[in-house]
Amino acid sequence: MSDLKGLGSVVCLGVHILDILGRPVTTIPPGQHSILIDEIRATAAGTAAGTSVDLAKMGIHVRNVGAIGDDVLGDFVVRLLDDAGVDSSLLVRLAGATSATILPIRPNGERPALHVPGANAIFNATDLTNEQRDAVLSASAIHVGGLDAMPSMDPEVIGQLVASARRNGALVTMDVLRNGDRRSLEALGPVLRHTDWFCPNEEQLLGLAECTDVLEAANVMLDAGAGGVAVTQGEQGCRVVTRGIDVSIPALEIDVVDTTGCGDGFDAGFLIGLLCGLDPASAAWVGTVCGGLVATGLGSDAGIRSPQQVVALLNACTDDLARAAAHRLMELVDA
Protein backbone atom coordinates (compact mmCIF):
# COMPACT_ATOMS: atom_id res chain seq x y z
CA MET A 1 0.00 0.00 0.00
CA SER A 2 1.06 3.65 -0.43
CA ASP A 3 -0.58 4.99 2.72
CA LEU A 4 -1.29 4.03 6.34
CA LYS A 5 -4.84 2.66 6.13
CA GLY A 6 -3.56 -0.65 7.45
CA LEU A 7 -3.33 0.97 10.89
CA GLY A 8 -7.12 0.76 11.22
CA SER A 9 -9.90 3.28 11.66
CA VAL A 10 -9.57 6.42 13.78
CA VAL A 11 -12.58 8.32 15.09
CA CYS A 12 -12.20 12.03 15.79
CA LEU A 13 -14.90 13.02 18.28
CA GLY A 14 -15.50 16.64 19.16
CA VAL A 15 -15.68 20.15 17.74
CA HIS A 16 -16.07 21.01 14.06
CA ILE A 17 -15.48 24.60 12.98
CA LEU A 18 -15.30 26.46 9.70
CA ASP A 19 -12.24 28.73 9.82
CA ILE A 20 -12.07 31.73 7.51
CA LEU A 21 -8.51 33.03 7.49
CA GLY A 22 -6.76 35.99 5.90
CA ARG A 23 -3.12 37.07 5.89
CA PRO A 24 -1.21 39.17 6.55
CA VAL A 25 -3.35 41.45 8.69
CA THR A 26 -1.56 44.22 10.59
CA THR A 27 -4.56 46.39 11.39
CA ILE A 28 -8.34 46.49 11.07
CA PRO A 29 -9.20 49.46 8.80
CA PRO A 30 -11.41 52.18 10.32
CA GLY A 31 -15.02 52.79 9.32
CA GLN A 32 -15.85 51.17 5.99
CA HIS A 33 -12.32 51.35 4.61
CA SER A 34 -10.60 48.24 3.25
CA ILE A 35 -7.09 46.89 2.88
CA LEU A 36 -5.61 44.40 0.43
CA ILE A 37 -4.09 41.19 1.77
CA ASP A 38 -2.28 38.29 0.12
CA GLU A 39 -4.53 35.34 0.84
CA ILE A 40 -7.93 34.25 2.16
CA ARG A 41 -8.83 30.61 2.80
CA ALA A 42 -11.59 28.56 4.42
CA THR A 43 -10.79 25.29 6.19
CA ALA A 44 -12.46 22.55 8.22
CA ALA A 45 -10.96 23.16 11.63
CA GLY A 46 -11.37 22.58 15.33
CA THR A 47 -9.65 20.07 17.58
CA ALA A 48 -11.54 17.14 16.04
CA ALA A 49 -12.04 18.25 12.42
CA GLY A 50 -8.57 19.73 11.99
CA THR A 51 -6.89 16.61 13.33
CA SER A 52 -9.05 14.41 11.11
CA VAL A 53 -7.93 16.24 7.96
CA ASP A 54 -4.27 15.79 8.87
CA LEU A 55 -4.83 12.10 9.60
CA ALA A 56 -6.53 11.64 6.24
CA LYS A 57 -3.65 13.38 4.44
CA MET A 58 -1.34 10.82 6.01
CA GLY A 59 -3.47 8.01 4.60
CA ILE A 60 -5.40 7.08 7.74
CA HIS A 61 -9.02 5.94 7.48
CA VAL A 62 -10.78 8.48 9.71
CA ARG A 63 -14.43 9.02 10.65
CA ASN A 64 -15.79 12.05 12.47
CA VAL A 65 -18.31 12.23 15.29
CA GLY A 66 -19.72 15.65 16.09
CA ALA A 67 -22.28 18.23 15.04
CA ILE A 68 -22.62 21.01 12.49
CA GLY A 69 -25.49 23.36 11.72
CA ASP A 70 -28.11 22.98 9.00
CA ASP A 71 -26.76 26.08 7.22
CA VAL A 72 -24.58 26.56 4.15
CA LEU A 73 -21.48 26.76 6.36
CA GLY A 74 -22.21 23.21 7.48
CA ASP A 75 -22.44 22.16 3.84
CA PHE A 76 -19.05 23.75 3.29
CA VAL A 77 -17.48 21.90 6.25
CA VAL A 78 -18.76 18.59 4.86
CA ARG A 79 -17.38 19.41 1.42
CA LEU A 80 -13.96 20.27 2.86
CA LEU A 81 -13.82 17.10 4.95
CA ASP A 82 -14.93 14.90 2.06
CA ASP A 83 -12.39 16.50 -0.28
CA ALA A 84 -9.65 15.70 2.25
CA GLY A 85 -10.70 12.04 2.39
CA VAL A 86 -12.42 12.18 5.79
CA ASP A 87 -15.62 10.17 6.28
CA SER A 88 -18.06 12.89 7.39
CA SER A 89 -21.19 10.74 7.07
CA LEU A 90 -21.66 10.41 10.84
CA LEU A 91 -21.86 14.14 11.56
CA VAL A 92 -25.28 15.22 12.81
CA ARG A 93 -26.95 18.37 11.46
CA LEU A 94 -28.55 20.48 14.17
CA ALA A 95 -30.93 23.38 13.59
CA GLY A 96 -29.00 26.62 13.60
CA ALA A 97 -25.50 27.84 12.82
CA THR A 98 -22.33 25.88 12.21
CA SER A 99 -19.48 26.86 14.50
CA ALA A 100 -17.25 29.34 12.66
CA THR A 101 -14.20 31.54 13.30
CA ILE A 102 -12.75 34.55 11.50
CA LEU A 103 -8.96 34.61 11.88
CA PRO A 104 -6.96 37.68 10.81
CA ILE A 105 -3.43 36.24 10.75
CA ARG A 106 -0.63 38.60 11.78
CA PRO A 107 2.68 38.66 9.85
CA ASN A 108 4.37 36.67 12.64
CA GLY A 109 1.76 33.90 12.43
CA GLU A 110 -0.24 34.84 15.51
CA ARG A 111 -4.00 34.41 15.20
CA PRO A 112 -6.54 36.52 17.08
CA ALA A 113 -10.00 35.01 16.66
CA LEU A 114 -13.64 36.07 16.27
CA HIS A 115 -15.76 33.02 17.04
CA VAL A 116 -19.40 31.85 16.86
CA PRO A 117 -19.90 28.67 19.00
CA GLY A 118 -22.81 27.38 16.89
CA ALA A 119 -23.64 23.67 16.87
CA ASN A 120 -20.68 22.72 19.06
CA ALA A 121 -22.32 24.57 21.96
CA ILE A 122 -25.65 22.72 21.75
CA PHE A 123 -24.53 19.20 20.77
CA ASN A 124 -25.54 16.92 23.65
CA ALA A 125 -25.76 13.26 24.59
CA THR A 126 -29.25 12.84 23.17
CA ASP A 127 -27.91 13.89 19.76
CA LEU A 128 -25.42 11.01 19.69
CA THR A 129 -26.65 8.46 17.16
CA ASN A 130 -26.30 4.69 17.39
CA GLU A 131 -24.06 4.86 14.31
CA GLN A 132 -21.76 7.32 16.06
CA ARG A 133 -21.57 5.16 19.17
CA ASP A 134 -20.84 2.05 17.10
CA ALA A 135 -18.05 3.84 15.23
CA VAL A 136 -16.38 4.80 18.50
CA LEU A 137 -16.70 1.29 19.92
CA SER A 138 -15.14 -0.32 16.82
CA ALA A 139 -12.29 2.16 16.24
CA SER A 140 -8.60 1.38 16.54
CA ALA A 141 -8.10 4.82 18.06
CA ILE A 142 -10.23 7.71 19.27
CA HIS A 143 -9.15 11.33 19.37
CA VAL A 144 -11.37 13.43 21.64
CA GLY A 145 -10.94 17.02 20.52
CA GLY A 146 -12.38 20.11 22.18
CA LEU A 147 -14.75 18.60 24.73
CA ASP A 148 -14.14 21.78 26.75
CA ALA A 149 -15.91 23.75 23.99
CA MET A 150 -19.01 21.52 24.10
CA PRO A 151 -20.83 22.81 27.20
CA SER A 152 -24.04 20.87 26.54
CA MET A 153 -22.31 17.50 26.22
CA ASP A 154 -22.23 15.36 29.37
CA PRO A 155 -18.56 14.31 29.92
CA GLU A 156 -19.76 11.24 31.82
CA VAL A 157 -21.47 9.94 28.67
CA ILE A 158 -18.35 10.46 26.56
CA GLY A 159 -16.22 8.97 29.32
CA GLN A 160 -18.30 5.81 29.44
CA LEU A 161 -18.23 5.52 25.66
CA VAL A 162 -14.47 5.99 25.50
CA ALA A 163 -13.94 3.57 28.38
CA SER A 164 -15.87 0.87 26.51
CA ALA A 165 -13.85 1.52 23.35
CA ARG A 166 -10.63 1.31 25.31
CA ARG A 167 -11.67 -2.04 26.74
CA ASN A 168 -12.13 -3.12 23.12
CA GLY A 169 -8.48 -2.24 22.49
CA ALA A 170 -8.73 1.34 21.24
CA LEU A 171 -5.98 3.89 21.83
CA VAL A 172 -7.39 7.16 23.22
CA THR A 173 -5.88 10.63 22.82
CA MET A 174 -7.38 13.91 23.94
CA ASP A 175 -6.81 17.62 23.29
CA VAL A 176 -8.62 20.80 24.27
CA LEU A 177 -9.59 23.93 22.39
CA ARG A 178 -9.50 26.64 25.03
CA ASN A 179 -7.50 27.77 28.02
CA GLY A 180 -9.03 26.68 31.30
CA ASP A 181 -8.48 26.21 35.03
CA ARG A 182 -8.95 23.55 37.71
CA ARG A 183 -12.73 23.73 37.28
CA SER A 184 -12.23 22.98 33.58
CA LEU A 185 -9.95 20.09 34.48
CA GLU A 186 -12.58 18.67 36.81
CA ALA A 187 -15.13 18.78 33.98
CA LEU A 188 -12.72 16.88 31.71
CA GLY A 189 -12.08 14.25 34.40
CA PRO A 190 -14.62 11.62 33.26
CA VAL A 191 -12.84 11.37 29.91
CA LEU A 192 -9.29 12.15 31.03
CA ARG A 193 -9.15 9.14 33.30
CA HIS A 194 -9.78 6.90 30.29
CA THR A 195 -7.24 8.71 28.09
CA ASP A 196 -3.91 7.18 27.13
CA TRP A 197 -2.38 10.51 26.05
CA PHE A 198 -3.43 14.07 26.85
CA CYS A 199 -2.01 16.51 24.27
CA PRO A 200 -2.59 20.19 25.19
CA ASN A 201 -0.32 23.12 24.44
CA GLU A 202 1.79 24.56 27.23
CA GLU A 203 -0.51 27.47 28.02
CA GLN A 204 -3.51 25.16 28.25
CA LEU A 205 -1.64 22.66 30.42
CA LEU A 206 -0.44 25.29 32.89
CA GLY A 207 -3.90 26.86 33.07
CA LEU A 208 -5.68 23.57 33.73
CA ALA A 209 -3.17 22.69 36.46
CA GLU A 210 -3.06 26.26 37.81
CA CYS A 211 0.71 26.21 38.14
CA THR A 212 3.76 27.59 36.33
CA ASP A 213 5.96 24.50 35.90
CA VAL A 214 5.37 22.15 32.96
CA LEU A 215 6.50 18.98 34.76
CA GLU A 216 4.40 19.79 37.81
CA ALA A 217 1.41 20.49 35.56
CA ALA A 218 1.93 17.24 33.64
CA ASN A 219 1.95 15.34 36.92
CA VAL A 220 -1.39 16.93 37.81
CA MET A 221 -2.79 15.41 34.60
CA LEU A 222 -1.28 12.03 35.45
CA ASP A 223 -2.86 12.25 38.90
CA ALA A 224 -6.18 12.97 37.17
CA GLY A 225 -5.88 9.68 35.30
CA ALA A 226 -4.14 10.41 32.00
CA GLY A 227 -1.68 7.71 30.97
CA GLY A 228 0.77 10.27 29.60
CA VAL A 229 1.07 13.90 28.57
CA ALA A 230 2.51 15.19 25.29
CA VAL A 231 2.56 18.98 25.57
CA THR A 232 3.38 21.21 22.61
CA GLN A 233 5.57 24.23 23.38
CA GLY A 234 5.69 26.26 20.19
CA GLU A 235 9.22 27.15 19.12
CA GLN A 236 10.56 25.03 22.02
CA GLY A 237 9.12 21.84 20.50
CA CYS A 238 7.27 19.44 22.78
CA ARG A 239 7.69 17.49 25.99
CA VAL A 240 6.52 13.94 26.66
CA VAL A 241 5.86 12.98 30.28
CA THR A 242 4.70 9.76 31.95
CA ARG A 243 5.47 8.28 35.35
CA GLY A 244 8.72 6.94 33.91
CA ILE A 245 9.50 9.27 30.97
CA ASP A 246 10.41 12.94 30.65
CA VAL A 247 11.70 13.70 27.16
CA SER A 248 11.89 16.96 25.21
CA ILE A 249 11.78 17.07 21.40
CA PRO A 250 13.07 20.22 19.63
CA ALA A 251 10.95 22.14 17.14
CA LEU A 252 11.73 22.19 13.44
CA GLU A 253 13.42 25.27 12.02
CA ILE A 254 10.75 26.61 9.67
CA ASP A 255 9.44 29.87 8.28
CA VAL A 256 6.17 30.34 10.16
CA VAL A 257 3.22 31.54 8.11
CA ASP A 258 0.31 30.72 10.44
CA THR A 259 0.20 28.80 13.70
CA THR A 260 -3.49 27.85 13.32
CA GLY A 261 -3.90 24.09 13.69
CA CYS A 262 -0.30 23.27 14.62
CA GLY A 263 -1.56 21.41 17.67
CA ASP A 264 -3.97 19.43 15.50
CA GLY A 265 -1.08 18.49 13.24
CA PHE A 266 0.94 17.35 16.22
CA ASP A 267 -1.99 15.31 17.52
CA ALA A 268 -2.36 13.57 14.16
CA GLY A 269 1.32 12.76 13.82
CA PHE A 270 1.71 11.64 17.44
CA LEU A 271 -1.32 9.37 17.17
CA ILE A 272 -0.01 7.85 13.95
CA GLY A 273 3.35 7.22 15.57
CA LEU A 274 1.72 5.42 18.48
CA LEU A 275 -0.42 3.32 16.12
CA CYS A 276 2.76 2.39 14.26
CA GLY A 277 4.13 0.92 17.49
CA LEU A 278 6.70 3.65 18.10
CA ASP A 279 7.80 4.56 21.61
CA PRO A 280 6.31 7.87 22.84
CA ALA A 281 9.41 9.97 22.14
CA SER A 282 9.71 8.67 18.57
CA ALA A 283 5.98 9.21 18.06
CA ALA A 284 6.44 12.78 19.30
CA TRP A 285 8.97 13.32 16.51
CA VAL A 286 6.28 12.42 13.97
CA GLY A 287 3.92 14.83 15.72
CA THR A 288 6.51 17.59 15.77
CA VAL A 289 7.16 17.28 12.03
CA CYS A 290 3.44 17.28 11.23
CA GLY A 291 2.79 20.26 13.49
CA GLY A 292 5.71 22.15 11.95
CA LEU A 293 4.46 21.48 8.44
CA VAL A 294 1.05 22.96 9.27
CA ALA A 295 2.74 26.22 10.31
CA THR A 296 4.24 26.65 6.83
CA GLY A 297 0.90 27.59 5.23
CA LEU A 298 -2.39 29.32 5.91
CA GLY A 299 -4.97 27.30 7.84
CA SER A 300 -5.12 24.11 9.88
CA ASP A 301 -4.98 21.93 6.75
CA ALA A 302 -1.78 23.47 5.36
CA GLY A 303 1.63 21.91 4.92
CA ILE A 304 1.04 18.17 5.22
CA ARG A 305 0.80 16.42 1.84
CA SER A 306 1.69 12.75 2.37
CA PRO A 307 3.42 10.27 4.69
CA GLN A 308 6.35 10.21 2.27
CA GLN A 309 6.87 13.93 2.82
CA VAL A 310 6.88 13.43 6.60
CA VAL A 311 9.32 10.53 6.28
CA ALA A 312 11.71 12.70 4.25
CA LEU A 313 11.71 15.40 6.91
CA LEU A 314 12.24 12.88 9.70
CA ASN A 315 15.19 11.40 7.80
CA ALA A 316 16.68 14.89 7.47
CA CYS A 317 16.84 15.21 11.27
CA THR A 318 20.02 14.18 13.04
CA ASP A 319 18.24 12.57 15.99
CA ASP A 320 18.25 8.75 16.01
CA LEU A 321 14.66 8.63 17.28
CA ALA A 322 13.48 10.73 14.34
CA ARG A 323 15.21 8.45 11.87
CA ALA A 324 13.83 5.36 13.60
CA ALA A 325 10.35 6.87 13.24
CA ALA A 326 11.00 7.52 9.56
CA HIS A 327 12.10 3.92 9.03
CA ARG A 328 8.99 2.52 10.72
CA LEU A 329 6.64 4.78 8.77
CA MET A 330 8.30 3.85 5.49
CA GLU A 331 8.02 0.16 6.30
CA LEU A 332 4.27 0.54 6.60
CA VAL A 333 3.90 2.78 3.55
CA ASP A 334 5.88 0.34 1.39
CA ALA A 335 4.19 -2.80 2.74
Render pLDDT for 264-300 as a digit per residue (tens, 0 to 9).
999 999 999 999 999 999 999 999 999 999 999 999 9
201-243: per-residue pLDDT in tens?
Answer: 999 999 999 999 999 999 999 999 999 999 999 999 999 999 9
Helices (H), 198-298: 202-209, 214-223, 262-275, 280-294
Residue 2 pLDDT > 90? no
pLDDT per residue as tens digits for the range 115-170: 999 999 999 999 999 999 999 999 999 999 999 999 999 999 999 999 999 999 99
Percent of the chain with pLDDT over 90: 91
Does 1 have pLDDT greater than 70? no
Q: What is the pTM of this model?
A: 0.95
**Element housing 95 (H / E):** none
pLDDT reading at 3 higher than 80: no
pLDDT, average across residues 81-97: 97
What is the per-residue pLDDT across 170-191, written as a single tens digit (0 to 9) for each?
999 999 999 999 999 999 999 9
For 10, phi and psi rounded to 5 degrees?
-110, 135
Using CA atoms, how far apart are residues 241 and 170, in angstroms rounded to an integer?
21
Backbone angles phi, psi at 250, to 5 degrees: -70, 155
Residue 110 has pLDDT above 90, yes or no: no
Contacts of 217 (CB under 8 A, 6+ apart): 205, 206, 208, 209, 211, 231
Strand ranges of the sheet holding 238-241, from the earlier edge strand across to the other edge: 61-65, 9-14, 141-145, 171-175, 197-198, 228-232, 238-241, 246-249
In this structure, are strands 9-14 and 141-145 parallel, antiparallel, or unpaired? parallel
